[in-house]
Structure 1
Amino acid sequence: MRRSVEPEQHLSAPVLAAYSYCETVTGQQARNFAYGIRLLPAPKRRAMSALYAFSRRVDDIGDGTLDAAEKTKRLEETRDLLTRVRRRDVAEDDTDPVAVALAHTATAFPLPLGGLDELIDGVLMDVHGETYETWEDLKVYCRCVAGSIGRLSLGIFGTEEAARHSERAAEYADTLGLALQLTNILRDVREDAGNGRTYLPADDLAKFGCATGFHGEEPPPGSDFAGLVHFEVRRARALFTEGYRLLPLLDRRSGACVAAMAGIYRRLLDRIEREPESVLRGRVSLPGREKALVAVRGLSGLDARGGLRPNLRRRA
């Protein structure tokens, strides 16, 4: 059962300040997700910002310049914060605004906080230099760092319709997270290689002659790099198709938020498909005006019941 959400005028000044901080972090750093989050009503928008700010902290530890031992220590300290949130042991005047905002969100919405433990587990895989032999192996990582966020978001988005189909809704949210993460992996192939990370499955790399990795703006000699990218794009598209089955289970504005966030990544995927080697020359991105257009289409592309209109089904 959904918990009641406090009206904004009933929130204390420290809680409002904590949420304001998280919304600032989201606006400045969530270059794609922020466009969807803006479509939500204030309580859900604040909650999603708290979730993003915590996730951003975890990611920043994993991507930082500290050695592996110190990263592990800090990630476990962050896990300790989750324990405090579960125990409702975070005071409103705590000096950590992310802790205050997340603690309030966890009382206002039925957040499956174990998903944030999964996120930490996934970032620890990065810290420990995990590699992935098969897609099944990579899916474990993607579910930790992205599928978990989809399931957590569902706790904020959730409606009575989603509650009636909770198991399927969670599966669709998880699958959509996998689609977004695989798109991220394709987009960041060169950047990740420069940081000593390889996410694409080793058997896929070997199949297309890319086992030597990516070390510059040109594909490995003799490889079928375009074939590799198109293979992964098809996989991502299948995940998007399955994940989009979540949308009719959400209310209009929550569905619009998801459609906007996923739509931005679908357009990134289109660009990568058209010009596979572009990911070796730099990060593929969309201009702000195109992201805004996708967000508007997400809001207008849903009917009153949350179902997809044909134009949104063709291109989110």
Structure 2
Amino acid sequence: MESLQKSFDHCAQICANSGSNFISAFRLLPQRERQAMEAVYAFMRLADDLVDDTQSTDDARLFLGLFQTTFLEALKDPERAFSELPSSNSPILSLYFIFPAIYETIRQYSIPTQYFLDVLHGIQTDLEKNFFQTVEELENYCYHVASAVGLICLHIWGIPAAQIAPDADTPIFRAAVSCGKALQWTNILRDVLDDAQNDRLYLPLDDWNCLTLQKTKTSNQNPMTDEEKKNLSSLIKNKILAENCSDFLPVIKKNLARAEQFYAETVPLAEWIPKRNRKVFLLMTSVYHRIFEKISQTPEIVFNQKVKLGKIEKIKLYFRIFFNKKFSNEAKHLAKNKKSVKMN
């Protein structure tokens, strides 16, 4: 099996090659926490790439299943699971190199295995579905692909494990779940056009259906059939691609309001994170909140382009967080014009 230091180095290289905005934020962490974050990022990235880089959905499903099975077996007996180097074309070759680092991270920070399985379940969902009917379905998806990742990070950043155990009924757990939903909802709003080009529609189908019924001045209390769901999803995606979507703005605004509420519920989270790790959280969330603000200012922009932050905007965010002694000012900025949620 790969040595521990080589494994951490391999994770760091995956992060460096990714070009992700989050990687620069990791540098704000002490070395131990930074290496752990790089290991977690590498795990998520490799699982994601395993699906994205596979042409056949059936093969992607098979490879992801093998990735998960090997991961679970290796947690029980690392030496046996990786007694020899997998073949060069094996879907678990990448896991071989990063596993010692992720194993040590899980051990050091007492991270529940369930959170890693939750993320893999979210990736699996992308193979099975290309639209979501209800807001509850979308929230569940966001929990798996984003909130679970955040809960892993909070273990690394120093939150007591009992406070953020799976299904914990604590204020910090609820705030962490809302934070993941806020960031993923922003991601979904930002990628409306890209997703339509990839035959995906993440915003709840019920929202689009309500809009259609309002425009036609009809009322239909019957649930949509599977065929009707597929037809409506295709109609919406085609209109987005044809740039014939000015009447879709109410759906975007409705989901901006949902994201805003999730951001408001996130506000208390920063105060619970130990000071030495707080800035990385604020930087990561502030990047997404700034994207959310830009979309809120011009909602129709999502039908024309992917909203991004320029270098100057990122530098301003970095300086505001890094040199702001009163971190709470930045935390409150995440829920601008919103009241702080009650801590109960």
TM-score (norm 2): 0.78
- Label 1:172 to 1:81 Cα distance change in 2 as closer, same or farther (>3 A): farther
Number of the residue aligned with 1:308: 328
Give the conservation status (yes or no) of the 8 Å contact 1:253–1:299. Answer: no
**For 1:42 and 1:206, how far apart are their aligned partners in 2?**
50
Identity of aligned residues (%): 27
Query: Given the alignment of the two structures, is residue 199 of structure 1 paired with residue 202 of structure 2, yes or no?
Result: yes
**For 1:276 and 1:205, how far apart are their aligned partners in 2?**
16
- Label 1:206 to 1:293 Cα distance change in 2 as closer, same or farther (>3 A): same
Give the conservation status (yes or no) of the 8 Å contact 1:81–1:99. Answer: no
**For 1:292 and 1:163, how far apart are their aligned partners in 2?**
36
Mark the runs of 5 or more structure 2 residues left unpaired by the alignment.
Answer: 86-95, 213-231, 336-344
Q: CA RMSD in A?
A: 2.7
Give the conservation status (yes or no) of the 8 Å contact 2:123–2:145. Answer: yes
Give the conservation status (yes or no) of the 8 Å contact 1:122–1:145. Answer: yes
User: Deviation digits for residues 121-153 of structure 1, max 9, x if unmatched?
Assistant: 111111112531111111111111111101111
User: Deviation digits for residues 22-78 of structure 1, max 9, x if unmatched?
Assistant: 122223325222232221111111111111111111212233342111111111111
User: Deviation digits for residues 91-114 of structure 1, max 9, x if unmatched?
Assistant: 899752221211121121111221
Greater Rg over alpha carbons, structure: 2
User: Deviation digits for residues 192-240 of structure 1, max 9, x if unmatched?
Assistant: 111111111001122344962234566445x533322222111111101
Query: Given the alignment of the two structures, is residue 56 of structure 1 paired with residue 54 of structure 2, yes or no?
Result: no
1:164-243 superposed matches below 5 A: 167-209=170-212, 212-215=235-238, 216=240, 219-221=243-245, 223-243=246-266
The correspondence for 2:283, drawn from 257, 260, 263, is 260
Give the conservation status (yes or no) of the 8 Å contact 1:90–1:99. Answer: no
Residue 256 of structure 1: how far off its partner (Å): 1.3
Give the conservation status (yes or no) of the 8 Å contact 1:218–1:280. Answer: no
**For 1:49 and 1:208, how far apart are their aligned partners in 2?**
43
**For 1:168 and 1:64, how far apart are their aligned partners in 2?**
39
- Label 1:142 to 1:165 Cα distance change in 2 as closer, same or farther (>3 A): closer
Structure 1, 236-245 or 203-212: larger mean CA deviation: 203-212
- Label 1:130 to 1:251 Cα distance change in 2 as closer, same or farther (>3 A): same
Residue 287 of structure 1: how far off its partner (Å): 1.9
**For 2:325 and 2:207, how far apart are their aligned partners in 1?**
37
Residue 308 of structure 1 aligns to a residue whose secondary structure is helix
Number of the residue aligned with 2:100: 100
**For 1:49 and 1:219, how far apart are their aligned partners in 2?**
39
Number of the residue aligned with 1:131: 131
AA of the residue aligned to 1:314: H
- Label 1:231 to 1:21 Cα distance change in 2 as closer, same or farther (>3 A): same
User: Deviation digits for residues 234-282 of structure 1, max 9, x if unmatched?
Assistant: 1111101112321111111322111111100001111112222322223
Mark the runs of 5 or more structure 1 residues left unpaired by the alignment.
Answer: 1-12
AA of the residue aligned to 1:308: S
Give the conservation status (yes or no) of the 8 Å contact 2:132–2:205. Answer: yes
- Label 1:69 to 1:165 Cα distance change in 2 as closer, same or farther (>3 A): closer
The correspondence for 1:249, drawn from 272, 279, 291, is 272
Number of the residue aligned with 1:148: 148
TM-score (norm 1): 0.84
Give the conservation status (yes or no) of the 8 Å contact 1:35–1:295. Answer: no
AA of the residue aligned to 2:26: I
- Label 1:286 to 1:302 Cα distance change in 2 as closer, same or farther (>3 A): same
